[in-house]
Amino acid sequence: MKVNKIAVVGSGYVGLVAAACFAELGYSVVCVDNDLERVAALNRGEVPIHEQFLPELLERHRNHRLHFSGSLAEAVQSCSIIFVAVGTPPKDNGEADLSYVESVAREIAQNINGYKVIVEKSTVPVYTSNWIRRVMLLTAQAECEFDVVSNPEFLREGTAVTDFLYPDRIVVGADTPRAAKILRDLYSPLTSGSYYGSLDKIPEPDGITGPPPMIVTTAKSAELIKHASNAFLAMKISFINAVANICEEVGADIEQVAEGVGSDSRIGPRFLRAGIGYGGSCFPKDVAAFRAVALECGYEFGLLDEVMKINETQRQRFMKKIRTALWTLKGKKLGVLGLAFKGRTDDIRESPAIALVEELVAEGACVTAYDPAAMTRAQEALGTRIKFAESISQAAEGADALLILTDWDEFASLDLSQIRKQLRYPIVLDGRNLYSLEEMEAHGLMYVSVGRRASALKQLAKVG
């Protein structure tokens, strides 16, 4: 079957990036969302999320290869492949809420008019493909022909466009040869390398060595690959944070330890950065959902319990560092750099920075915060409980301490001499380890980070 038109249901981080990137690969795409205000904004050219290269792709393809619509029925009838990229928020018990996926499956079945490939792009637990198939068969008014495929995304917020166009691998979980071939053909601009020869391609990131491999599995295996991948990465972060805690107790340096561990080719350096824990829309939700899947299958996945426990504890340990450095928090003026869960995104979902700010406010601190991209979303979440600065300088001015909570590039190149002059007390608490102890001490700053010794005040007394 020749792919003539693609539908992407959902215009969130995954859906919007997927729709724009498929248009970039030369396909005609309609991105569907039931939020008509969002659809209207996208049709006006507004970009709802902070994502590198996404504005360029939307400007390049909007109203040409890429269209936005509120009608799923029309999209189903005009498209041969339908990607489902709607939200799967966690329930109270950690399970993924699949009600949005079910609703989309029902509407697809009600409007199906020929063979379709329904592709799970949302992160879903194992067996979801079976449930989609069952819902569609029960809903359809007449006999309908379709395949359900799992095609998990491995996109990192902040680099989602390049992650899509220059992936490590493409995973396709298809239970029929027909569906597998259609997905092979769909991704051929990437797997054949033809896209990479185009003159106006999105620039490739460092380290790209060739076209990505496609891994074809069963649908169940593909569903597990996504959850297992995110759980493993979350485990890697929690592991290095646990090691950082040991470093603090014995007087070692976590940066040196991580370099030694990460230099092992079997381990690698990525996700071995100690800090205040992981956040975002993926890791917390996916680890909890994977644990729930395991429990449902009768397996006690205790390792995931510990991963989540370490992540929560890490924030509390950093909060203790703040209390130790400042003695009391009530009435203290604190400058905060970073509100997003990580740099290069405006996403504050499950952000460790937001959690820490809320706790600081609850203990009576006066917080003035700055983030290069997440201010609007943070204002919606925090309201008037804190002040929002227009710059790094404004956040630091007159503060009793400066807290670095997100790893934005600009926070790693501060004018430390100026920061020292602006702070009421020369205290910097860095939850992302963006600086060396020696650099901070050279500028007369008391420096507290993660997994390393803190500056001694007697050493700072010698600074002019």
CB atoms within 10 A of CB 53: 19
Q: CATH homologous superfamily for 226-309? A: N-(1-d-carboxylethyl)-l-norvaline Dehydrogenase; domain 2 (1.10.1040.10)
pLDDT at 463 over 50: no
Torsion 408-413-419-423 (CA) sign: positive
For the segment 348-379, what is each residue's pLDDT rounded down to a tens digit?
Answer: 999 999 999 999 999 999 999 999 999 999 99
> 3-class DSSP state for residue 423?
coil
pLDDT at residue 141, as a whole number: 77
- Please tell me the distance from the alpha carbon of residue 268 to that of residue 258, in angstroms, as a whole number: 10
Instruction: Point out the residues that are catalytic.
Output: 282
Q: How confident is the prediction for the chain on average, in pLDDT?
A: 95
> 3-class DSSP state for residue 45?
coil
C-beta separation of 42 from 79 below 8 A: no
For the segment 392-411, what is each residue's pLDDT rounded down to a tens digit?
Answer: 999 999 999 999 999 999 99
> 3-class DSSP state for residue 317?
helix
CATH code, 6-217 = 3.40.50.720
The strand pairing partners of 297, in sequence order, are none
Domains 6-217 and 314-460 share a fold: yes
pLDDT at 461 over 60: no
What confidence category does residue 455 fall into, taking pLDDT thresholds of 50, 70 and 90? confident
C-beta separation of 319 from 403 below 8 A: no
Tell me the domain boundaries of the chain: 6-217, 226-309, 314-460
Correct CATH for 314-460 of 2.40.40.20, 3.40.50.720, 3.40.50.1980, 3.30.70.920: 3.40.50.720
Residue 243, burial from CB neighbour count under 10 angstroms (0-12, 13-18, 19+): middle
Token readout for 373 is: 């991209």
**C-alpha 348: how far from its chain's center?**
10
pLDDT at residue 2, as a whole number: 67
Amino acid identity at 464: G
pLDDT at residue 457, as a whole number: 55
Q: What is the full DSSP assignment across 79-102? A: -SEEEE-----B-TTS-B--HHHH
Determine the length of the chain.
Answer: 464
For the segment 242-297, what is each residue's pLDDT rounded down to a tens digit?
Answer: 999 999 999 999 999 999 999 999 999 999 999 999 999 899 999 999 999 999 99
